[in-house]
Amino acid sequence: MEGSRTPGGGLPGASEAWVAAVTETAELAERRDVVAELGKQLRALNEAAVRTEVPTDVLRRVAGEVAAATGELSRQQREISETASVDDLLGGVRMYNPVIGEGHPIAPPLRFEIDGTFVEGRCSLGLAHEGPPSSSHGGMSALWLDQALGHAAAAADNRGVTTNLSVRYRKPVPLGVPLRIWADTVEVDGNRTVTHGGITTVAEPDVPLVQAEARFLRLNGAQVRRMFPSMFSASGAAAGEGE
């Protein structure tokens, strides 16, 4: 139906507000798709950049081309304290989170499936995540786990900040191999949550490569306001405490 979702030519009885909301939703969905596409291209660029052995003059030319792209993206920037226009903190959409954000250049990105308080995500890592030759950097493993453990705390209705994270590296985490990152809640005590989790390969889920335990603290109102001032509207209502 031509013009059915545009102001003036819309569905019979549709209010201007409804039409505006639908248009905004479509625009937001399109922008998120494009942010995800840019993230995908940047991740491919990262991987190509750390693997390349092209001649030096090609490297120099590409550095100039990338600088030009950076200039384009820098024409309109948000402040550090501003939430990205594509994010929805209450809805858990964080397009630029370095673990789950589809728009983030270093995110695998992980997508967590949640069953009760059990959380599981799968990914493969590349040379952009390398620490020891052919293995994941230990800091990267801790990053994926901190996020997974945080989702387990959130799944136990105790979304909070990490106050302690302990990681035991038992075997190297191989690159280019499907991995499984899991977490679960062990204990909830008021505002505190204890979680544990680990990394295995998909092929050998019973062989722990990395094991972790973390404590999360659900912040009180004053702490939320102190840590995340940008999440409050002019009326002072909290918009959420997501990472």
Q: Enumerate binding residues for ligand MYA (CB under 6 A).
A: 92, 146-147, 150-151, 154, 159, 161-163, 191, 217, 219-220, 223, 227, 242-243
Tokens of 54: 């092209």
CB neighbours (10 Å) of residue 120?
A: 19
Shortest CB 217 distance to ligand MYA, Å:
5
Token pair of 134 as six digits:
């052919």
Least distance in angstroms from the C-beta of 166 to ligand MYA: 14
Do 176 and 123 meet the contact criterion of CB atoms below 8 Å apart?
A: no
Q: Rounded to the nearest whole angstrom, what is the least distance from the CB of residue 92 to ligand MYA in the complex?
A: 3
Task: Count Cβ atoms within 10 A of the Cβ of residue 161 and give its class: 0-12 exposed, 13-18 middle, 19 or more buried.
Answer: middle
Give the residue among 165, 144, 147 at the shortest CA–CA distance from 213. Answer: 165
Task: For residue 181, count other CB atoms closer than 10 A to its CB.
Answer: 26
Q: Which residue is it, tokens 């139906």?
A: 1
Q: Which amino acid is at 40?
A: K
Q: How far is the CB of 76 from ligand MYA (least distance, A)?
A: 27
Report, in Å, the least distance between residue 118 CB and ligand MYA. 14
**Which residue's CB is nearer to ligand MYA, number 46 or number 162?**
162
What whole-number distance in Å separates Cα of residue 201 and Cα of residue 131?
17
Question: CB of residue 40 vs ligand MYA: minimum separation in angstroms?
Answer: 22
Q: Are 183 and 195 in contact (CB under 8 A)?
A: yes
**Closest to ligand MYA by CB, 94 or 135:** 94
- Among 147, 199, 197, 143, CA closest to 170: 199
